[in-house]
Structure 1
Amino acid sequence: MTGRTDHVDRELIEAAARVARTRCRGDDHTMAAAGRARDGRIITAVNAYHFTGGPCAELVLIGTAAAQGAYELDTVVAVGDRDRGVVPPCGRCRQVLLDYYPALRVIVGAGDRVRTVAIAIADLLPESYVWADHQLPADRTEPNGTD
């Protein structure tokens, strides 16, 4: 069962929608993402479409957040250009978001069905692969068991 919260960060949705309206032009940038950092800041990004599989807006958001010193995100949302509204993360983004932020909340749904998936992004990616480097026991510092 997917975890839900009644609180939907409308300010975050509007931040992503504003970026989608003003910065997504043509085929190179068609999606915007916004994330709320633990300190309350809103960070935004756009995708970099390329036929070789350029990064989605959510993945660009991870790098943008790190570049701004925001290493912990609480909530993310992606919004499509041309007023497409909230767009759920693709499978690749779900896996990467899970690896970086296992307790992340993600805003999904459309129109009056917009909701925040809470508890863990794993709810959007059941039976997911867990990146071993992120699951090291506390007494180990290297994935191969050496210190």
Structure 2
Amino acid sequence: MTTMRDTDRALVQAASAVAKLRCRSASHTAASAARTAEGRVLTGVNVVHRAGDTCAEVVALGAAVTQGVGALETIVTVGDRGRTVISPCERCQRLLADHSPSLRVIVGPVEDPRVVPVTELLLTPDVAD
């Protein structure tokens, strides 16, 4: 576990702002914000559909790839219109670790979030609780 930086707090605020603005239906319930090492922030929202769901982390990662961004530095996902921090699901943890092995993930309650390496999430799924 590492210390939250001011840029990490700003990333939580960015994800929360997207969640408040775009997550207003049962089809979109979570928003992710990811930051590159250069400080660029990319966002995405989940897509819930009867054919299958796509997590917000996957959408943010897709936006990064589409825009030519390499590895991501930090990511956070929020739900409940920005009131909760959500840990990536196991599938997203694996995808994020494969794409950005040194990725930092913000987890924990929104009032007291903390940062963990994505590889630690893979080893101990309960770290986000």
TM-score, scaled relative to structure 2: 0.87
- The structure richer in helix per residue is 2
Identity of aligned residues (%): 47
| Cα pair 2:17 2:82 within 8 Å, conserved | no
User: Structure 2 stretches of 5 or more lacking a match?
Assistant: 125-129
> How many residue pairs get matched?
122
| Cα pair 1:32 1:81 within 8 Å, conserved | no
1:47-106 CA distance string (max 9 Å, x none): 111133221000111101111221221000000033432111111111111111111000
User: Structure 1 stretches of 5 or more lacking a match?
Assistant: 128-147
Tell me: CA distance 1:67–1:53, structure 2 relative to 1, closer, same or farther (3 Å).
same
Q: Name the structure 2 match of 1:36.
A: 35
d(CA) in 2 for partners of 1:83, 1:19:
8
d(CA) in 2 for partners of 1:37, 1:78:
15
Rg larger in structure: 1
RMSD: 1.5
Are 1:126 and 2:123 counterparts? yes
Q: Name the structure 2 match of 1:7.
A: 4
Q: Name the structure 2 match of 1:59.
A: 58
TM alignment of 1:1-147, pairs within 5 A: 4-8=1-5, 9-118=8-117, 121-126=118-123
| Cα pair 1:75 1:104 within 8 Å, conserved | yes
